[in-house]
Amino acid sequence: MRQLVTGGAGFIGSNYVRHVLAHTDHRVTVVDKLTYAGNRASLAGLPDDRLMFVQGDVCDAPLVGDLVADHDLVVHFAAESHNDNSLRDPSPFLQTNLVGTYTLLEAVRAHDVRYHHISTDEVYGDLELDDPARFTESTPYNPSSPYSATKAGSDLLVRAWVRSFGVRATISNCSNNYGPFQHVEKFIPRQITNVLDGGRPKLYGAGANVRDWIHADDHSAAVLAIVERGQLGETYLIGADGERDNRQVVETILTLLGRPADDFDHVNDRAGHDLRYAIDWSKLRDELGWRPRYADFGEGLAATIGWYRANADWWRPQKAATEAKYAEAGQ
């Protein structure tokens, strides 16, 4: 199979590319715009005879059409995804997340190519901290930021193209990913690299906000299962029962790195900070038989810390500029 992976030089996309090349005989073409969040180094060491890289924009209809025509499957990871950035300037999120998805859908429609759409649990809004409920595939959309609103819109485009034009597509909405190759602007790698640099982690507000964490390797395996065995037209939620509040995550990082669990700083909370995300992934488990490898969050976090410790050359060029932006915002 020939897979076209958009955003394949980004965090989740590059982990997926590595997983596909390690566990299948598929060939992969990565198309990535290489914004600040894309990094060719995230694809280093992969086999040249099975991986091709194209620098380009998913909004570029002629380029996208030519690439899609030469592949059997499109897996669409490319997205603007940082909530803080969407609050400062929503415009790139509308272009990449909405126009880019539309461009891809028109291309797969024209060439009758199978399509899988990567999305987020943030399209569902948030849950109360004391609510026992979890998001399911039937939870109404209720996005709360420009980022999550544009991702919700892209999901709805996919559903419309399936129903109106018969596009062969599936959608997955995943909980928060962590693991190798994640930009240091994101919560977990920011805290890990702060400690590795001899600094202190930064905790938004009281740190009570809850996220449902999944290792990127597990996300990749789940996506491949959906691509291979998922029912066309269906949505699958991907999770790993990894609910932790932000304070617990910071305390675990500090403990694993041999520092006191309270050795962190509180900073200004994010505007409109969602309270809690939680995924019910029973459909994925029951229909496709998928299970996460890193069911123990602490084990996955320890492996992630080990990767950042061993790969400072990958993340250090991003670190100073990232921290300067956070400092300007008092975070």
Is residue 256 situated within a structural domain? Answer: no
Q: Could you list the residue range(s) of the whole structural domain that residue 45 is in? A: 2-177+214-238
pLDDT at residue 271 in the model: 76
Cβ-count burial of 327 within 10 angstroms (0-12 exposed, 13-18 middle, 19+ buried)? Answer: exposed
Q: How large a percentage of the chain has pLDDT more than 90?
A: 92
pLDDT at residue 324 in the model: 92
- Catalytic residue from among 102, 147, 178, 308: 147
pLDDT exceeds cutoff 90 at 327: no
pLDDT exceeds cutoff 80 at 295: yes
- Catalytic residue from among 32, 57, 80, 122: 122
CATH label of the domain that carries residue 27: 3.40.50.720
Is residue 273 situated within a structural domain? Answer: no
DSSP output for 203-253? EETTS--EEEEEEHHHHHHHHHHHHHHPPTT-EEEE--S-EEEHHHHHHHH
For the segment 161-171, what is each residue's pLDDT rounded down to a tens digit? 999 999 999 99
**pLDDT class of 8 with cuts at 50, 70, 90:** very high
Is residue 74 situated within a structural domain? Answer: yes
228 as an active site residue: the answer is no
Q: How large a percentage of the chain has pLDDT more than 70?
A: 100
- Catalytic residue from among 57, 80, 121, 212: 121
Task: Tell me what percent of the chain is helix, strand and coil, each rounded to the nearest 5.
Answer: 45, 20, 35
**pLDDT class of 272 with cuts at 50, 70, 90:** confident
For the segment 177-216, what is each residue's pLDDT rounded down to a tens digit? 999 999 999 999 999 999 999 999 999 999 999 999 999 9
Is residue 22 situated within a structural domain? Answer: yes
End-to-end CA distance of the chain: 45
pLDDT at residue 214 in the model: 98
**pLDDT class of 87 with cuts at 50, 70, 90:** confident
Average pLDDT over the chain, rounded to whole?
96
pTM: 0.96
pLDDT at residue 273 in the model: 84
304: helix, strand or coil? helix
Cα 209 from Cα 122, distance rounded (Å):
13
Is residue 253 situated within a structural domain? Answer: no
pLDDT exceeds cutoff 90 at 278: yes
pLDDT at residue 136 in the model: 98
Contact, 249 vs 47, CB < 8 A? Answer: no
Average pLDDT over residues 131-152: 95
Average pLDDT over residues 72-95: 92
147 as an active site residue: the answer is yes
Contact, 72 vs 38, CB < 8 A? Answer: no
Is residue 254 situated within a structural domain? Answer: no
* Total of domains in the chain: 1
Is residue 308 situated within a structural domain? Answer: no
Cβ-count burial of 269 within 10 angstroms (0-12 exposed, 13-18 middle, 19+ buried)? Answer: middle
Question: Would you state the structure tokens that stand for residue 160, as one six-digit string?
Answer: 């419309």
218 as an active site residue: the answer is no
pLDDT at residue 288 in the model: 98
Is residue 296 situated within a structural domain? Answer: no
